[in-house]
Amino acid sequence: MLPKKEKTSKTKQLELATDGPSKKIDQTKKQQRSRLFVTITLALTIILSLSFIVYRQIKHFQSTGQTIIAQIQLKLPHFQKIIPDTSTNYPIQIDQIISQSQGAWSIYTQRISPHRSNLTWTRGAPVAIDDIHKLLDQTPSQINQSLITHAIPEGLKVAQIIDESQGHYAFLISLPNSEQLLLIFENAAPLTQIKSDIEQLSTVLYWGLISQ
């Protein structure tokens, strides 16, 4: 009888030894499957929620007669100064401004350049151009301190001589490429009446001279 008991106990021990690892493997697989199921469930829930939100937005746009593109507002940069069309003959533009202005105008302009030929343009009676030496001797101030602040691009420097009693206005604009533009206007009308005209003339002459 005793030998049979020993055989029975050994058999049970063998079964326990073989069943232990297989049960652990089965438990691990069950855990992995459970985690995968939870992950898939969460992902499907998120996708369904997003789809429902998009569907509601589309229905809202359709009900209000609007499109999604119409709701997107693109903010373009605002440019303070508009560059004139340099293909237009700038002397014609000058004559148009003068014809609608007060008083009689005399204009002298010169482009001073170390890279290309100098360019001179005049309109009306001769003007005193001795100011150029005084302007060259000045220390150029920032453009926002000049009478033609809104006439030329920001960042440039300008020296100016203003004599309202004589109706004489001279400006020397320094360009980044070492060029300089000399603008001289003479008009006996009060400055309050021709200030905007000086700005318009300066804008047209600036772009006209640098484009030549």
- Most confident segment among 13-17, 132-136, 207-211: 207-211
Beta sheet of 106-112, edge-to-edge order: 119-123, 106-112, 180-186, 168-174, 157-163, 141-142
Two tokens, residue 79: 């440019």
Is the pLDDT assigned to residue 92 strictly greater than 60?
yes
pLDDT value at residue 79: 37
Average pLDDT in the 50-58 region?
Answer: 73
pTM, 2 dp:
0.56
Q: How far apart are CA 59 and CA 53, in angstroms?
A: 10
